[in-house]
A and B are shown apart, each in its own frame.
Chain A
Amino acid sequence: MIRLSGIARTFLVGGEEVHALRAVDLGIAHGEYLSIMGPSGSGKSTLLNIIGLLDRPDTGTYELDAKNVTALSDDELARVRREKIGFVFQFFHLVPRLTAAQNIELPMVLAGIDPAARRPRLARLLAEYGLEERAGHRPDQLSGGQCQRVAIARAMSMGPTVILADEPTGNLDRHTGQEVLGVLERVHHNGGTVVVVTHDPEIGARSQRRLRMLDGAVVADEKG
């Protein structure tokens, strides 16, 4: 489903080249639950951003759902992102002035979906992520765990091909982190594809496939 070959990404920092990714080859199958671990600066976020089409590789090709997306225009990328990618961030990134329900609805609004069609989907998402009572609350009235649940519901709202979570528990206490992880695992059990970047070995250990990165390269890829 996702096929990366020879993906490299180099940043220029103060005249010096930083190789965030060096020739990464990676395939992710439909329904996989994959964790990426590695020291800080090893290129985890960069890899996730490229998979999520937020960033472009300097070299290499990327096939998403058997379609080469390496050379798409910015607008085409935005549309693919809208349909197929769901992001979950460490710092939630909810729009502060919008309610939980409006935040969850946002991708559908951007996609131009009719309000009549949005309503049942929104109701289903609110119920699925236990947010019915919080629907009208703004992010500053929600706990961290609730914020991240809103973010996951938002990521799921367009029925994406893959959920990409960059340290989704990094900003939460242990207990809430476990709870959010449970939510992501449920997405996986329902047939979703999930990629989680994490520093927590325990979280990594719970995933079905574990990737280790070091200095811009994938150095280990364990399954089971």
Chain B
Amino acid sequence: MRLADLFDFAWQVLRSSISRTLLILLAMGIGVAAVVVVTSLGEGARLYVANQFGSLGTNLIIVLPGRSETSGGMPGVLIGKTPRNLTLEDALALKRSHAIRRFAPLIIGAGDVRAGALSRETPVLGSTAELMDIRHMEMAQGSFLPPGDPRHSQPVCVIGAKVANELFGSRPALGEWVRIGDRRFRVIGILAAQGQSLGFNTDEIVIVPLAAAQALFNTESLFRILVEAKSREQIAAAKADVEEIVRLRHEGERDVTVITQDAVLATFDRILRALTLTVASIAAISLAVAGILIMNVMLIAVTQRRREIGLLKALGATGHQIQLAFFTEALLLALGGAVAGLAVGELGRSFAVQMYPAIPFQAPWWALAAAPATALLTAVLFTVAPARRAARLDPVQALSRR
């Protein structure tokens, strides 16, 4: 039998039982569309998180006090030493590393910020001029904290867009004085509106020089040190340098945690990928269900078309040809279902994009390949049994009226 004739024959069968065909197409289509939509959502979330991390800074290394690892060796704790604080001196010592481009020590507290009669409770960040470049911040007006020795401070501050709006309304804020706690700061810059980035809204903060924050919150210890490596390749070296420099300063104790942005991102990436894969597999189960539907329908077809199968054999069809006819039918169904499913999935994806334009929903290539492939594979697999049954049918019995 020629290939074109085989397809033609299967096509005639599908056309002659339209409702049965549509039902299977529906089941297959839903399965494929589910995989496409679900993976689009998962991949969208993954890309979204990756973008968010990217906006935090490049080649970023974060140093925080305390050892977060639970691995056995913490003799300091065992013999009763309290872990050391991370200090500005620790941060300044990082200048020795050649792998580090810049760093910004960070103190965070909450402060009551007043301008005239208005007041607002906001997070207050103490840092240095380098923070702006490390965190990719942009100014709407004025300038960021002035560079200089972080041990001394000027009474200036930079405020977020929303804070400016709430405290000053439409009045110009630049050059005005605000009061935080019992200290006065002149507003020298307003941050450009950036919005939320990983749970931290730069629109709602006030940034003051590090020394001012130390005085304000009456603390010497840093909340974090943000470090930017010179390049992607230097991240590992920078991390080792940070650990070594701080260890030497802390009498040999490894009592800080150093996180690279890469590692965090990789972790998120892994988690979200695994999640996407899991949900996609669950969606793929519906493909298996569609496969079982195909098997059921084919088994019924073998019974219904007993006489036809007997006839084909009497006309000289081999068992192989009969099987091929059934496989072609199943393949056409799966193919149609896959195409319909991909189309519907794409529709669902663009709908999601309309709803949440910020998230880059897009089905990953492997899902776009795997969903139709799974549809075809299940269709073929589940047709094996019915096709063999048809091929083994005894033509004499099939043709007799008994």
A interface residues with partner B (beta carbon < 8 Å): 45, 49, 52, 54-55, 74-75, 78-79, 81-83, 85, 87, 89, 91, 93, 95-98, 102, 106-107, 109-112, 114-115, 154, 158
Stretch at the interface among B80-88, B227-235, B394-402: B394-402
- Across the interface, name the chain A residue whose C-beta is closest to B308: A95
Contacts of A154 in B (CB 8 A): 315
Contacts of B400 in A (CB 8 A): 45
Tell me if B12 and A81 are in contact (CB < 8 A): no
- Across the interface, name the chain A residue whose C-beta is closest to B13: A97
Tell me if A74 and B318 are in contact (CB < 8 A): yes
Contacts of A107 in B (CB 8 A): 315-316
Please list the 7 inter-chain residue pairs (A to B) with the smallest Cβ-Cβ separation, ordered nearest first: A82-B316, A97-B16, A78-B318, A81-B316, A75-B318, A93-B311, A107-B315
Contacts of A85 in B (CB 8 A): 316
Residue of A55, A93, A102, A158 contacting most chain B CB atoms (<10 Å): A93
Q: Considering the chains assembled together, what is the distance between the CA atoms of A102 and B310 in angstroms? A: 17
Contacts of A102 in B (CB 8 A): 12
Tell me if B1 and A81 are in contact (CB < 8 A): no
Tell me if A54 and B395 are in contact (CB < 8 A): yes
Contacts of A110 in B (CB 8 A): 1, 312, 315-317, 321
Contacts of B136 in A (CB 8 A): none
Tell me if A79 and B316 are in contact (CB < 8 A): yes
Tell me if B311 and A95 are in contact (CB < 8 A): yes
Tell me, yes or no, whether B320 is within 8 Å of chain A by CB. yes
Q: Considering the chains assembled together, what is the distance between the CA atoms of A52 and B308 in angstroms? A: 17
Q: Considering the chains assembled together, what is the distance between the CA atoms of A93 and B313 in angstroms? A: 12
- Across the interface, name the chain B residue whose C-beta is closest to A52: B314
Q: Given A49-B396, A93-B311, A95-B308, verify A78-B316 contact (CB < 8 Å).
A: yes
Q: Given A93-B307, A110-B312, verify A75-B5 contact (CB < 8 Å).
A: no
Contacts of A96 in B (CB 8 A): 16
Q: Given A82-B315, A95-B311, verify A75-B320 contact (CB < 8 Å).
A: yes
Tell me if B312 and A81 are in contact (CB < 8 A): no
For chain B, the bracket of interface size reads 20 to 34
Contact of B1 among A75, A109, A158 (CB under 8 A): A109
Q: Considering the chains assembled together, what is the distance between the CA atoms of A82 and B314 in angstroms? A: 8
Q: Given A109-B5, A110-B321, verify A93-B316 contact (CB < 8 Å).
A: no
Tell me, yes or no, whether B96 is within 8 Å of chain A by CB. no
Tell me if A75 and B319 are in contact (CB < 8 A): yes
Contacts of A89 in B (CB 8 A): 399
Tell me if A106 and B319 are in contact (CB < 8 A): no
Contacts A54-B399, A97-B16 known; list 6 others, CB within 8 Å.
Answer: A74-B319, A75-B318, A81-B313, A81-B315, A82-B317, A158-B316
Tell me if B314 and A81 are in contact (CB < 8 A): yes
Tell me if B320 and A91 are in contact (CB < 8 A): no
Contacts of A75 in B (CB 8 A): 318-320
Tell me, yes or no, whether B171 is within 8 Å of chain A by CB. no
Contacts of A158 in B (CB 8 A): 316
Contacts of A87 in B (CB 8 A): 314-315
The minimal Cβ–Cβ distance linking B167 to chain A, given in whole angstroms, is 80
The minimal Cβ–Cβ distance linking B297 to chain A, given in whole angstroms, is 16
What 0/1 readout, one digit per residue, does chain B (339-350) give for beta carbons within 8 Å of chain A? Answer: 000000000000
- Can you list 23 A-B contacts (CB < 8 A)? A54-B314, A54-B396, A54-B399, A74-B318, A78-B321, A79-B316, A79-B318, A81-B314, A81-B315, A83-B316, A91-B401, A93-B307, A93-B314, A95-B311, A98-B12, A110-B1, A110-B316, A110-B317, A111-B316, A112-B1, A112-B2, A112-B5, A154-B315
Tell me, yes or no, whether B185 is within 8 Å of chain A by CB. no
Q: Considering the chains assembled together, what is the distance between the CA atoms of A111 and B2 in angstroms? A: 8
Q: Considering the chains assembled together, what is the distance between the CA atoms of A15 and B1 in angstroms? A: 41
Q: Considering the chains assembled together, what is the distance between the CA atoms of A109 and B5 in angstroms? A: 7
Tell me, yes or no, whether B9 is within 8 Å of chain A by CB. yes
